[in-house]
Every structure is written in C-alpha cells, then in structure tokens.
Chain A
Amino acid sequence: MEYFLQQLINSLTLGSIYGLIAIGYTMVYGIIGMINFAHGDVFMIGSFVSLIAMVLLGVGTGAFLPLALLIVLLAAILVTSVYGWTLERVAYRPLRGSFRLAALITALGASIFLQNFVQVSQGAKIKPIQPIIQGGFTFFENGSMVVSFSYLQIFIIIITVILLSIFSYIISKTPLGRSQRACEQDLTMSKLLGINVDRTISITFIIGASLASVAGMMFVLYYGVIDFFIGFLTGIKAFTAAVLGGIGSIPGAVIGGLLIGLIETFWSAYFTIEYKDVAVFGILVIVLIFRPYGILGKPEVEKV
C-alpha cells in the first residue's frame, strides 16, 4: 500500500512533464494537422537552456532559490519560444497548404538538425547537475516503507497546475484563444473572417514551446542529468500521450500525459523496468484498437 502510494506520487510528477509536452503536440496538430516531430527536441533545447541558466546563476549555491529558479524559468521560456517560433517560420510555414507528408519530412529534418546542433555545440556527453531542491514531507512511515512527497515533486506539480490554469484561461477567455479555437475548427473560414492565421499559428508554436521548456526545466531538476538525445523518447511518449487522450483535444493531452506517467511508473515498479516503454506503446495500441480516436477525441465524420 505504501509502495503503491509512493508510486502514485511519482507517476503524477512524471505525468505532469509528459502532459506539458503533449499540449504542444496536440495544439499544433489541432490547428495545422501535422505531427510536429521536432517538438521533443524543442523540449530538449528547453532543458539545455535551463541547465545553462542554472550554472550561470549558480543556482543551488546562493540564496534566493525561488527567485533564481524564476529567472531560470523565464530565460528558458524566452529562448525556447524563440526556437519554436523560428522552427515554424523556417521549416513549416513555407509548406503550409502543401501536401501532408512534406511538412512531416521537414519536421523530421528539423528534429535531426536540432539534435545534432546541440550535440555539436554542447558535446555528446551527459550533463549531470547537483540536486537543487532537496528534502520533502514524509507523511507515512511504517518500518522500512516510507511514503514521501519531496519538495521537488510538489514544485513540479504546483508549477504544472499554475501553468495549466493560465493556459486554459488564455484558450477559453482571451481573443487569442478564441482565434486559436476558430483556426482549429476551420482554417479557411477563420481567414475569411479576418483572423490573422499566420500570427495565430506562430503564437501556437510559441505557447507550445514555452510549455515544453518548462517541462524541460522540470526534467533537469527531477532527473539531474540530460543529454542531447532526451528529446526523442520523451517527445515520442508525449506524442503517444496526446494520441491516447485524443489528438486535438487539450484536456485529452493532459489526461493522456498523466496516464502515460501512470503506466510507465507502475510498470517499472511492479514488472520490469526494461520493458516500460514497450508497455506504454502496447497500451497505446490497445486503446487505439478499441477507441480509434483516443479518450477525449472526436471521431472524424467523413463526408463523401
């Protein structure tokens, strides 16, 4: 039971990270209908920028930890969102309206490019960092079994909740969110009604990249080690989360992320750690067989 509770807390933390990345996939897919394969690498860039900012500020050694973390967060968001914007501008915008696979190939190309760009400029070795947020609550102790909720996990979950509330406010209440939802429903019609579609898509990429960069910072803090290749598997799993939740649906992305976190953590806790990714993809296949449009996705009505 204690073990179960502990794993539940762990999976919630992991799920938050996946959920934040999955939103980027699902938003882009909802509006322009393409798989942004480079999004995982944007997340990786975010984690590198946070790492660099942390080393630059000497986070963990000085005082004012919350302030320093806030600066790191803002720096990561700023730089990574510029990456997201540039990515869309350079690799995707020239191909808008072109056939579907073209954009997929540029996305794959961008993914390869970003990975190797970081490998060339930062080196291929893993980058370890000292734990920055230590300690936590222990709210259950029974012999050797301890259930603890570390401050780091609390930090990650709180940041996720705050970001999600800001994000859902933007989507549901602001003019920007309205135009975004309009573009999602019908790109051509939105253009006719005077919505600046290019700008909306750019902003979508910026929002997606900033959420991914926060996830990247959490990843650095949580695992304490990154390399240029983390974007691939994390990105694929986040995309799996988006598909699982029903691609195009934002609450679906969060639910999918939490589910993927749950499956992965519990599989490695109770079965084998080697096959945790096999379990994730296996569950995805099973869900898609019985519910081909994901958990919250809308079935596509096909008209002849």
Chain B
Amino acid sequence: MSSKKNFSLIIKDLIFTGLIATVLLIPIVGFRTEISTVDSTGLTFNYNFIIAFFVVAFVVGVRFLFHIYWFSKIQKKPQENSEKNKKKFLKKLNFYLGAAAAVIAFTLPFMPFANRYIVDVATLVLTYVMLGWGLNIVVGLAGLLDLGYVAFFAVGAYSYALLATTFDLSFWICLPLAGILAAFTGILLGFPVLRLRGDYLAIVTLGFGEIIRLILLNWYEFTGGPDGISRIPRPSFFGFPFARKSEDTTFHELFGLEYSTMHRIIFLYYLILILALITNFFTMKIRNLPVGRAWEALREDETACRAIGINPTNTKLTAFAIGAMFGGFAGSFFATRQGFVSPESFTFIESAIILAIVVLGGMGSQIGVVIASILLIGSTELFRELEQFRMLAFGLAMIIIMIVKPRGLLANREPSILLNKKNE
C-alpha cells in the first residue's frame, strides 16, 4: 500500500473518530444539567461546549498517535522470540521481582522518604494485595469466578467489629474468629451454588455479595445499619497499647522510645505485610498438596476430575472457604485499622477491583497481584486530589491494560507439578 493511500485512509478514519466522539460527548458533556435556581423544581443547562470540543480534539489526537504508532510497528520486522527463552526469563524475573519486593516491603517504613502518608498508602496497597492473593485461590487456582468476594471481607470486618465492641476481645483473639466466621459464610453460601458453572456462579456470587451488604445496611439492631459500627478498639502490640498514656505499659515505654503516632501506623503496616505473606506462603504450599492439585485440575477440566474420583463440590468448597477465610482476615485488619466499619466500604465495586487486580496481574501469578495492586491502588491513591477523575482513569486503565496484555501483566502459568523432572 502506498503511503499516500495510507495517509488518506488515516485522515478518513480521524474524521470518522471525530464524528463519533462528537455524538458521544456533545450531549453528555456539552449540556450539563443543573437544578434550576429560579424555581428549584426544573432543570437548566450549563453549557460546556468548549470542554466537549477539547475532549473531542483529545480523542482524535489519541487516535492519530495510535495510527503513527501502528504504522511504525508495521514497518518493523516482527522479531523472532523463542518461547522457551521468554519463559525462562519470566521465571527469573518472577524470582528477582519477588525478592526485591520483599526487601522493599520490609524496609519501607525506615526509608528516609517514608512519611505517614506513604506508609498509609502502602498499607492500603498491601490490604488489596492480601485480598488479591485470597481471591487468587478461588479464581486463579480453582477457576471459580467469584464476583462477591467483598462479602467475606465484610463478614470479617463486621465479625471483628462486633466481637471487639460487644465482648471486648483483643485483636489476636478476634482475628482467627473473624477468619473462621468468614470461612463458614463461604461454606454456607458455597454449598447450594457451587454446582453451577461459569457465569451462573458469577452472578450468584454477585447476588450474595449484594445480599450481605443489604443485610448489613438494613439490620439496624445488629449492625448499626448505615451508621455502621464505630469505636472499634485499635490493635495493641501484643497487649501493650499504642497510646501516649495508659494504665498498662504502653508500647513506647516498653521499648524506651519517644512517643510517636507513627508507631501504630508502622505496626499496622507490618501486621498487614505479615498477614499477606502468610496468605502467599499458604497458597504456594497448598498448590503442592493434594487439595491444591485437585483445585488446579478442576479448573482445567471438571469432567475429567469427576472421572478420576475427585468430588468437585467438596473441592470447590474448600477453595471457597479458604479464600473466604483470608478475606475475613483482611476484613478484620481493615476494621481495626479504620476503627469504623459501615456497609459503604463493601460495595460491588470493591469486588470488581479485587477481581481486576487478580486478572490484571495474570491469573495465578502471585507477584502479578502485587504489581497490579501497586499500579491500580497505589497510583490512583497518589492522585487523590483529582478525586473525580481518579476512578475515571481507573476504569480506563483496566481497559487499556487488558487490551495490551490480555493474559495479565505477568502471565506465566508454571505447572505446579510435572510428571518427569524437566531436562533442560
């Protein structure tokens, strides 16, 4: 194709893009409806045509850049890339990335640049990493599409909140209890529906997620309804509270340090780091146990599994329950960190974000979850000032990453077990 013809094609395409963008943007962006100040009943318009025009121009510009990129890509000869080398490289990369991430994670609070804000963001990212790893058991290993994972997060958070506020139990007793309760919820919900496959399971789990949220919202006597539960006790350092003054020995007295509010923040950071690492360690180990292998086999072929005598319902239930348990742990951490829980924190969008982290990271890839969390949560958290545009960019990022890397950022699925040792 001659470059002249190409050029005219590009121009045509750009005009078409511009037309489409105009139809899309002029009504919604151009006419901003506002409640009229005159009679306060009708709606009036705020005309934003200039903004709409700029957005259209922006879209056309992006399309143009896309064309240039595409054009230059075609000019190049596709490179032969041996599959094997790539796999080896990815495996190495995985290892080094994991090691580097662990080192950075452990030293982060003592870095010179680490202030309260950075440690807070890191804690949030780690919470999502833990949730991602928990969901990875269900989605990545067992292949069950769960769109209501946040329900277990909510059960964990509310269990912790209720146990701690009514019975005055300490964090270290509530944490396992919350995990167990979440796991039981997982079994309870999973039992009737795990015979369903694929998308039916997805919609039912979504429904359960909403049911749990609605119950939390409406069962006022038990959960406090939309007001939530406040004054959840903060965690203590194994019995030594983080306070300036207390009847008991406080943390800073114990270690003879100057009192600082950072102590608790850093403690919380390490708490979630260790909880997350436990999740990771557990997942890596269980993949090599019979139940873990059964999960992966079930993901690949359910019929074959039935034929060799694996009970699919029980196997799926264990995956569901264990995934739920880690969700519950993360939930109780969330409750103790916030000191306040309300149904608002457990909407469907959270489930979607956690699922996005798992899939964007590359299903089954542990380090991928970390990278996806940092990208999605960390980077959007840094742009908090752009409140409204943050989620806009979030949605866009989800689409773009998926289109560029449909298998996820780090997608290499190593078989957990091989018949013969690989001869390199």
The chain A residue with its CB closest to the CB of B51 is: A121
Residue contact B402 to A102, C-beta cutoff 8 Å = yes
Say yes or no: is A137 at the interface (Cβ < 8 Å to chain B).
Answer: no
B355 contact from A53, A105, A120, A239, Cβ within 8 A: A105
Contacts of B74 in A (CB 8 A): none
B28 touching A274, Cβ below 8 Å: no
Residues 193 to 210 of chain B near chain A (Cβ within 8 Å): 193, 195-200, 202-204, 206-208, 210
B44, CB-defined interface residue at 8 Å: yes
Task: Note all chain A residues with C-beta closer than 8 A to B303.
Answer: 302, 304
- The verdict on B399 contacting chain A, using a C-beta distance below 8 Å, is yes
B396 touches A122 (CB 8 A): no
- Smallest CB-CB separation from A85: which chain B residue? B20
Interfacial chain A residues near B395, Cβ < 8 Å: 109-116
Shortest CB-to-CB span from B265 to chain A, Å, is: 29
- Nearest chain B CB to A286 CB, angstrom units: 9
Residue of A at shortest CB range from B348? A232
Is B199 in contact with A247, judged by CB distance below 8 angstroms? yes
B27 at the interface (CB under 8 A from A): yes
With a CB–CB cut-off of 8 A, which chain A residues contact B396?
109, 113
Stretch of B96-104, B324-332, B386-394 lying at the A interface? B386-394
Q: Within 8 Å of chain A (Cβ to Cβ): is B173?
A: no
Contacts of A20 in B (CB 8 A): none
Q: Are A56 and B203 in contact (CB under 8 A)?
A: no
Does any Cβ of A come within 8 Å of B356's Cβ?
Answer: yes
- Contact flag A129-B43 (CB < 8 Å), given A120-B389, A284-B204, A288-B196: yes
**Chain B residues within an 8 Å CB radius of A289:** 192-193, 195
> 1/0 per residue B389-414: CB within 8 Å of A?
10110111111001100110000000
Tell me the minimal C-beta distance from B186 to chain A in angstroms: 15
Beta-carbon contact of B195 and A277 below 8 Å: no
Using A48-B28, A55-B33, A106-B403 as known contacts, say yes or no to A284 and B207 having CB atoms under 8 A apart.
yes
Distance (whole angstroms) from the CB of A257 to the closest CB of chain B: 15
B254, CB-defined interface residue at 8 Å: no
Contacts of B196 in A (CB 8 A): 288, 292
Beyond A45-B28, A101-B363, A106-B399, is A281–B208 a contact (Cβ under 8 Å)?
yes
Partner of B356, one of A86, A95, A108, A236: A108
The interface-forming segment of B34-42, B176-184, B275-283 is: B34-42
Which residues of chain B (17-66) have a CB below 8 Å from chain A? 20, 23-24, 27-29, 31-35, 41-45, 48
Q: Is B130 an interface residue (CB 8 A)?
A: no
Most chain B C-beta atoms within 10 Å of own C-beta, residue among A94, A122, A130, A289: A122
- Say whether A101 contacts B359, CB under 8 Å: yes
A108, A239, A278, A281: which contacts B352 (Cβ < 8 A)?
A108
Q: Is B93 an interface residue (CB 8 A)?
A: no
A101→B397 CA distance, assembly (Å): 16
Q: Is the interface of A mostly helix, strand, loop or mixed?
A: helix
| Complex interface: chain A residues within 8 A of B195 (CB) | 289, 292
The dominant DSSP class at the B interface is: helix
Given A105-B360, A113-B395, A117-B28, the answer on whether A128 and B402 have CB atoms closer than 8 Å is no
> Does the CB pair B211–A278 fall under 8 Å?
yes
Is B145 interfacial (CB-CB < 8 Å)?
A: yes
Given the complex of chains A and B, what is the CA–CA distance between A284 and B206 in angstroms? 11
Report if B214 contacts A (CB, 8 A). Answer: yes
Tier of interface size on chain A: 35 or more
Q: Using known A-B contacts A35-B199, A232-B348, determine if residue A277 contacts B210 with beta carbons closer than 8 Å.
A: yes
Q: Considering the complex, give the chain B residue whose CB is closest to the CB of A284.
A: B207
* Cβ-defined partner of A123 (8 Å) among B34, B44, B391: B34
Contacts known (A52-B27, A106-B402, A247-B199); A112 close to B34, Cβ less than 8 A: no
Given contacts A101-B363, A288-B196, A304-B303, contact A275 B214 (CB under 8 A): yes
CB distance from B53 to the nearest CB of A (A): 13
Tell me whether B200 and A288 are in contact (CB under 8 A): yes
Q: Is the CB of A236 within 8 A of B210?
A: yes
B118 partner residues in chain A, CB cutoff 8 A = none
Query: For the complex, is A91 an interface residue (Cβ under 8 Å from B)?
Result: yes
Please indicate the chain A residues that have their CB under 8 angstroms from the CB of B406 in the complex.
95, 98-99, 102
Interface string of B59-86 (1 = CB under 8 A from A): 0000000000000000000000000000
Q: Give the residues from 268 to 304 in chain A that come closer than 8 angstroms, CB to CB, to chain B.
A: 272, 274-275, 277-278, 281-282, 284-285, 288-289, 292, 302, 304
Could you tell me the distance in whole angstroms from the C-beta of A246 to the nearest C-beta in chain B? Answer: 11
Which positions 156-203 of chain B face chain A at CB distance < 8 Å? 192-193, 195-200, 202-203
A51 on interface, CB distance cutoff 8 Å:
yes
Interface flag for A196 (CB, 8 Å): no
Q: Which residues of A contact B284 (CB under 8 A)?
A: none
Known: A52-B31, A117-B392, A278-B214. A240 touches B356 (CB 8 A): no
Q: In the bound complex, do residue A105 and residue B402 qualify as a contact, i.e. CB atoms below 8 Å apart?
A: yes
Are A274 and B218 in touch, CB under 8 angstroms?
yes
B215 at the interface (CB under 8 A from A): yes
Closest Cβ of chain B: how far from A293's Cβ, in Å? 8
Contacts of B105 in A (CB 8 A): none
Q: How far is the CA of A123 from the CA of B35 in the complex (A)?
A: 11
B204 and A288 contacting across the interface, CB-CB below 8 Å: yes
What residues of B have a CB within 8 angstroms of the CB of A53 in the complex?
Answer: 27
Closest to B26 in A: A79
Which residues of chain A are within 8 angstroms of B35 by Cβ–Cβ distance? 125, 127-128
- Is A267 part of the binding interface, using a Cβ–Cβ cutoff of 8 Å? no
Residue-by-residue, is B345-372 near A (CB-CB < 8 Å gives 1, otherwise 0)? 0001100100110011001000000000
Q: CA separation between A240 and B406, bound complex, in Å? A: 27
Find out whether the CB atom of B206 lies under 8 angstroms from the CB atom of A51: no
Contact across chains for A51 and B33 when beta carbons are under 8 A apart: yes
- Tell me whether A65 is interfacial, beta carbon within 8 Å: no
Residues of B within 8 A of A45 (CB): 28
CB-based contact B214/A277 at 8 Å: yes
A-B pairs with beta carbons under 8 Å apart, 7 shown: A52-B27, A86-B20, A113-B392, A120-B388, A123-B33, A281-B210, A285-B192
Residues of A within 8 A of B (CB): 29, 35, 45, 48-49, 51-53, 55-56, 75, 78-79, 82-83, 86, 90-91, 94-95, 98-102, 104-106, 108-123, 125, 127-130, 232, 236, 239-240, 243, 247, 272, 274-275, 277-278, 281-282, 284-285, 288-289, 292, 302, 304
- Apart from A115-B395, A116-B394, A288-B204, list 7 A-B contacts with CB within 8 A: A100-B198, A102-B359, A104-B202, A105-B355, A112-B352, A120-B392, A275-B214
The 5 closest A-B pairs by CB, nearest first: A109-B398, A113-B395, A281-B207, A112-B395, A98-B406
